[in-house]
Amino acid sequence: FPPTTTKTMSNITVFTNSTFYSNFTNSTGGLAHPLCPSWAVSLGYTGVAAAVCFSNFGSAWGTWKAGVSLVHTGIRHPKSIMKNVIPIVMAGVIGIYGLIVGVILGQSITKPTLARDNTYSVYTGMAHLASGLCCGLSGLVAGGCIGIVGDYGVRSVGYRASAITLFPASAPEAEGYSNVPDNEDTALDGEEISGSDDQNKLFVGMLIMLIFSEALALYGLIMALIVSQHLYTCA
């Protein structure tokens, strides 16, 4: 290494002093508030990004899983499309939760004053970060749950409505499963089988699971709104 010169040491001293001045002093030359550094806003905007991005990712995941099964089932049983579109609608609502929280957090982030004094504190930034993660991660897992439940639920309702048996006629009946009863007619050309109690039971069961899956995202939204109200502003 080259020997340290007086010029090099002076440059390091000037850089250190300027960094300290920009981070820990205000425009009047006094010490800035220790709870309101210049990097505190990065916590708040990270919470905004987490709420919107994770929620939209979960919404897209659920729409993709349920949408593919809906299209496949609609080929054999077109009349069930409008009834089985519920998982896709519920998955799309999750993205709205993230949008609501993102807008609220974005409006709560204060900018520096005209005197270049920071008023946004680390306490508020951490609250906004936690709020965004609550809503975003809850929406992510809820979207995945809705997609998986909707995928298998839509296929099951479509198979039952189309009188598709899951087991060969020669195979013994598996425990917990039943083939289509002999007294029911087979759906032809998309015609729906009327009076199918098993089909209605499958749909109701899928709907209940979808409601409780959606509730996970709603819990995250409620908690995010509560935590986002915890504010501390430096005078």
Residue 121 pLDDT grade (very low, low, confident, very high; cuts 50, 70, 90): confident
DSSP state letter for 132: H
Q: What whole-number distance in Å separates Cα of residue 68 and Cα of residue 88?
A: 10
Q: What is the pLDDT of residues 65-89, one digit of tens each?
A: 999 988 888 887 777 788 889 999 9
Q: What is the pLDDT of residues 22-80, one digit of tens each?
A: 454 554 444 456 666 778 889 899 999 999 999 999 999 999 999 998 888 888 777 77
Which residues touch 66 (CB under 8 Å, ≥6 apart)? 87, 88, 91, 146, 147, 150, 151, 154
CA angle 135, 137, 140 (to 5 degrees): 105
Residue 131 pLDDT grade (very low, low, confident, very high; cuts 50, 70, 90): very high
What's the pTM?
0.71
Mean pLDDT of the chain: 77
Q: What whole-number distance in Å separates Cα of residue 216 and Cα of residue 140?
A: 10
In the chain, the number of structural domains is: 1
* Domain residue limits at 77: 39-163+195-235
In a domain, 111, yes or no: yes
In a domain, 54, yes or no: yes
In a domain, 138, yes or no: yes
CATH number of the domain residue 228 falls in: 1.20.120.610
pLDDT of residue 134: 95
In a domain, 174, yes or no: no
Q: Say if residue 18's pLDDT is above 80.
A: no
In a domain, 173, yes or no: no
Of 109, 106, 114, 193, give the one whose Cα is nearest residue 158.
Answer: 193
The residue-averaged pLDDT of 112-126 equals 80
